[in-house]
A and B are shown apart, each in its own frame.
Chain A
Amino acid sequence: MNMPDLQPLMPEIVFLGLALFVLLAELFIKSKETIGLMVIVSVAATAYMIPQSFGVTFSGMFISDGYSSFFKFIFLLNLILTILISIQYIQIERAEFGEYYTVLMFSTLGMMIMASAGDLIVLYLGLELMALSTYILAGFIRHDARSTESALKYFLLGAFSSAILLYGIMLLYGLTGTTDIMKLSSLLMKNGMRLQSIFAIVMVMVAFGFKIALVPFHMWAPDVYEGAPTSITAFMSVGPKAAGFAVIGRVFLTGLEGFSADWRLLLVVLSIATMAVGNIIAIQQHNLKRMLAYSSIAHAGYAVLGVIAGNTEGLSATMNYLLIYAFMNIGAFSVLVLLRNEQERIETLEQIKGLARNHPFASALMLIFMFSLTGIPPTAGFVGKFFLFRALVYSGYTWLAVVAVVFSAISAYFYLRVVMYMYMYEPEEGVTQDISTAAPLGLALLITSLMVIAIGIYPEPFVNFARLVVG
């Protein structure tokens, strides 16, 4: 038997090796900054290998192409930013256990495998690697009841959704006799058992919808986002979500291409429900983390629109949106991390009253991210939404774009309320509002805010890049 071509797999292999090395190094190196730096170097090495890894191996089970690379860059970026905001934060939360960084890396590795999966088995394994690591991370503050509660909820519902995914995979396997994603559509068509095919598609969609928190499979998200350590919330709200979109793009747009009319209808229903529930419940939230959780649900609803558009343009718009979302959402969470100090968590609207008085820079950053999340030009959020809606209109879903714009207008209410609380109110008595001064956190804020503005002002290269890797 020939040795399989490992070239396409090299980034993952290297990344795994480095993750294990970091795990070992943590036994000896006490300085968390050093460990963080090692992770960042590992990420850089991996990112360097990705463009050289293009190819298909293990008879189509593992695909490294432009599409997967784009997502891998999002995952690695997500990892770097998470590391930057974590270093001081987890010390404040007294959760600086050694495995934190390694588990983050494993989770990212799972996402990378998902993005490259050409086979349902590989997809499942990547998904579980990502999910299991994230369960651990959500409960990383062991002594905190809220953190463990969120881990428990995430775990139970995540395992439930995995079981449903497996049932769907089993059905697809039974109907086609293969687990190769690329062959699904034609074999399903040949088989002709439409009822069972729809059944299988629904099952798979439910599981993916769970990962990207589509209503009504979103129920875990608010509780888990609120309870998890803030740095992990930032990580979870971007990475697993992007990974979910990566597999949705692969499985639905290429694997189940022949059934596009069917899954489109289902996704339209889900996306409207998602935008509605996410935006409407967010209005009622006074806890910022929870508000951002609902906002993240709503944004998944927008991002799905690109998949619904169902063409290269739409998919690239979704990818572009995810990249932009990574910057603006991690940025917003970074500001929350910035506000966490030894004495108290600053998490509610009441606590940030008059923040602009004491911390003009932190408030200005929050303002940029809130504007971007609302989609106000010239921030990146506007560009992202613009291309999504444009793709949607061009593929004939004008009415859906209008619905999305309406919900987007509703979202202005709760995003701009944050700005209002920061700028229009006097600070309350007894709220200290000391802020963290960690340099890595500052770097993360600098990167995210600059990118949010840069993409907003000069979107062309990013948009073209996403188009290029898809087309």
Chain B
Amino acid sequence: MVPLNWYMWLGAVVFSVGMFGFLTRRNVIIMFLSIELMLNGVNISLVALSHYMQDLRGQVLTLFIIAVAAAEAAIGLAIVIAMFRNRQTVHVDEIKEMKG
């Protein structure tokens, strides 16, 4: 059987890749995808933990995370569209009217 550690490392790596993407990419859509990656890193770890501890809570939380992520996606895309209508851009380094 695959040891728990491997899953945990996989989850951590996916989370980190997502975090790295979020910090480095300029495109809102890509940043948003990076967040999904972070969430999925958490999901992998949760499901693995849940399985190893024979406890359902982790999987329940995973399901909730997926559901919330869907809602988040809907709202996020709506905001991006509204933004695009106002500014004709999806690059965050061009969206900086308010600062200081």
Within 8 Å CB of A16, what residues of B?
none
B86 touches A145 (CB 8 A): yes
Interface of B is mostly: helix
A149 touches B15 (CB 8 A): no
Within 8 Å CB of A159, what residues of B?
32, 35, 72, 76
Q: How many residues of A contact B (CB 8 A)?
A: 43
Within 8 Å CB of A153, what residues of B?
95
B93: min CB distance to chain A, Å? 12
B63: min CB distance to chain A, Å? 10
CA of A226 to CA of B98 in the docked complex: distance in angstroms? 8
Within 8 Å CB of B55, what residues of A?
177-178
Within 8 Å CB of A290, what residues of B?
98, 100
A412 at interface by CB-CB < 8 Å? no
Q: How many residues of B contact A (CB 8 A)?
A: 44
A121 touches B57 (CB 8 A): yes
Within 8 Å CB of A223, what residues of B?
98-99
Known A149-B97, A227-B98: A124·B61 in contact at CB below 8 Å: yes
A415 at interface by CB-CB < 8 Å? no
A151 at interface by CB-CB < 8 Å? yes
Among A155, A163, A285, the residue within 8 A (CB) of B76 is A155
Closest A residue, CB atoms, query B46: A170
A170 touches B42 (CB 8 A): yes
Excluding A128-B72, A163-B42, A290-B100, 18 further A-B contacts by CB distance (< 8 Å) are A120-B61, A124-B61, A144-B86, A149-B87, A151-B79, A155-B76, A156-B76, A160-B22, A163-B15, A166-B42, A167-B41, A169-B61, A170-B45, A173-B46, A173-B58, A174-B8, A174-B45, A227-B98
Q: Which residues of A contact B (CB under 8 A)?
A: 120-121, 124-125, 128, 132, 135-136, 139, 142-146, 148-153, 155-156, 159-160, 162-164, 166-167, 169-170, 173-174, 177-179, 222-223, 226-227, 284-285, 290
Q: Which residues of B contact A (CB under 8 A)?
A: 8, 11, 15, 18-19, 22, 28, 31-32, 35, 38-39, 41-42, 45-46, 49, 53, 55, 57-58, 60-61, 64-65, 68, 71-72, 75-76, 78-80, 82-83, 85-87, 92, 95, 97-100
